[in-house]
Amino acid sequence: MLFPEHKFLCALSVSALCRQLEAASLHVFTAAPKTCRLKAVEAPALCPELSVWGVAMLRHMLQLQCNAQAITTIQQTGSKEKLITDSRQVRLATGLFPVISLLNHSCSPNTSVSFISTSATVRASQQIRKGQEILHCYGPHESRMGVAERHQKLKSQYFFDCNCSPCEREKQSSPKGPGREAFCCHACGALLQGGDVLSCGTASCTESVSRDHLVSRLQNLQQQVGMARKLLRNGKLEQAIQLLLRGQHDAESFLSAEHSMVGEIEDHLARAYAALGDWEKSAAHLQKSLRVVEACHGPFSIEMGHELFKLAQIFFNGFAIPEALNTIQKAEEVLLVHYGPWNDEVQELQKMKSCLLDLPSIPVGPNE
């Protein structure tokens, strides 16, 4: 269902557009521009030709939310002087791609879509057999949300019930990656299960705790991490590290090892140590963050590609040459699948690789 607010906004936008077009008296829209302009002065009604255009525009605008494609780009964050660049996906515009619109959705698609300017490229992200359907993710991906949330999002925007293979599998069994948002037992570390009151899964352990209590602990932790992020931005690195290490200790006592918050803390610690130039500690924390990302998003996910790219930069800056070369290769493999060879990060990796291979003292060759 389209929300009335949404319909109203679309109608308002189209009528504003029509008024603008009329004011500009674009002759493209009217065969007799003079009479049309006269009418516009006399009465508020649009000239008939423009009404036809208006109806067509409104129709297309209402269909946009199902058929349009978000055009995204990867934005590098972090300055060159900081030696470590991070990246995030940002939405640039909305576009219509007639061929991509033909692709059906899967919560675990076999393709990845990327953009260079306004050109979209669809790449196979896994082996596609002859005759097998080419599938694309409309947004709700199995690695980012559970089956109930995905269904709700797909239903409200695209009006269908998803029955792709991950959805069928998750409906029948337990959701994939139960650890990523799970709480664990304070006494023995096993996953806690239950509704309002959670109890330990280990038979010999009698721990139980209310969900509300754990949720409020998680909120406190999120607040602390938010503060640390602010300190990091302001260059107060030591203070940020102290706060993050306390947070890490706290997280270990009630969150599963694959919890997204655990990964976030490790990622921030890696960033703080990198800013201090302590590459060894930075790499150790980023490797922990990488394990969480792999458990949550899978080894060949875009998220994994970006995290591997960061690790490659850390090893590179710390002159850990074998580790750097190894990580560059892994990062390249993942990023090439999603973005192809013209991606900034892929090119940066290639530069790092040739720089390392050119070092005269490093024996690297086919016989090594």
Closest approach of Cβ 367 to Zn ion, in Å? 49
Out of 188, 197, 276, 359, the only residue in the binding site for Zn ion (CB under 5 A) is 188
Q: 6 or 213: whose CB is closer to Zn ion? A: 213
Closest approach of Cβ 211 to Zn ion, in Å? 16
Please tell me whether residue 293 binds Zn ion under the rule CB under 5 A.
no
| E strand or H helix that includes residue 356 | helix 344-358
Please tell me whether residue 110 binds Zn ion under the rule CB under 5 A.
no
Please tell me whether residue 148 binds Zn ion under the rule CB under 5 A.
no
Displacement of CA 252 from its chain's centroid (Å):
25
Q: Where are the extended beta strands (E) located within 52-196?
A: 69-77, 86-95, 104-105, 111-116, 119-124, 135-136, 192-194
Please tell me whether residue 202 binds Zn ion under the rule CB under 5 A.
yes
Closest approach of Cβ 74 to Zn ion, in Å? 25
Closest approach of Cβ 41 to Zn ion, in Å? 55
Out of 36, 113, 137, 185, the only residue in the binding site for Zn ion (CB under 5 A) is 185
Closest approach of Cβ 19 to Zn ion, in Å? 42
Q: 107 or 255: whose CB is closer to Zn ion? A: 107
Give the list of residues 6+ apart from residue 146 with CB closer than 8 angstroms, or none: 170, 175
Closest approach of Cβ 153 to Zn ion, in Å? 10
Q: 111 or 327: whose CB is closer to Zn ion? A: 111
Please tell me whether residue 192 binds Zn ion under the rule CB under 5 A.
no
Please tell me whether residue 200 binds Zn ion under the rule CB under 5 A.
yes
Q: 17 or 134: whose CB is closer to Zn ion? A: 134
- Cα–Cα distance between 298 and 359 in angstroms, integer? 34
Cα separations in angstroms, 318 against 112, 283, 344: 32, 9, 22
The stretch among 49-57, 107-115, 174-182, 283-291 that binds Zn ion (CB under 5 A) is: 107-115
| Binding-residue total with Zn ion (CB under 5 A) | 12
Please tell me whether residue 38 binds Zn ion under the rule CB under 5 A.
no
Cα separations in angstroms, 250 against 122, 260, 261, 281: 43, 14, 11, 20
Please tell me whether residue 187 binds Zn ion under the rule CB under 5 A.
yes
Q: 167 or 274: whose CB is closer to Zn ion? A: 167
Q: 107 or 331: whose CB is closer to Zn ion? A: 107
The stretch among 42-50, 91-99, 118-126, 157-165 that binds Zn ion (CB under 5 A) is: 157-165
Out of 21, 84, 167, 232, the only residue in the binding site for Zn ion (CB under 5 A) is 167
Give the list of residues 6+ apart from residue 228 with CB closer than 8 angstroms, or none: 240, 243, 244, 247, 268
Report strand pairing: 69-77 vs 197-200. unpaired
Out of 207, 250, 252, 323, the only residue in the binding site for Zn ion (CB under 5 A) is 207
Q: Give, as one character, the DSSP assignment of residue 191.
A: B
Would you say 105 and 137 are in contact if contact means Cβ atoms under 8 Å apart? yes
Displacement of CA 354 from its chain's centroid (Å):
30
Report strand pairing: 135-136 vs 197-200. unpaired
Give the list of residues 6+ apart from residue 51 with CB closer than 8 angstroms, or none: 18
Residue type, 254: F
Please tell me whether residue 162 binds Zn ion under the rule CB under 5 A.
yes
Out of 100, 205, 227, 284, the only residue in the binding site for Zn ion (CB under 5 A) is 205
- Cα–Cα distance between 298 and 328 in angstroms, integer? 18
Closest approach of Cβ 281 to Zn ion, in Å? 31
- Cα–Cα distance between 134 and 144 in angstroms, integer? 21
Name the residues that contact Zn ion, by CB under 5 A.
107, 162, 164, 167, 185, 187-188, 190, 200, 202, 205, 207
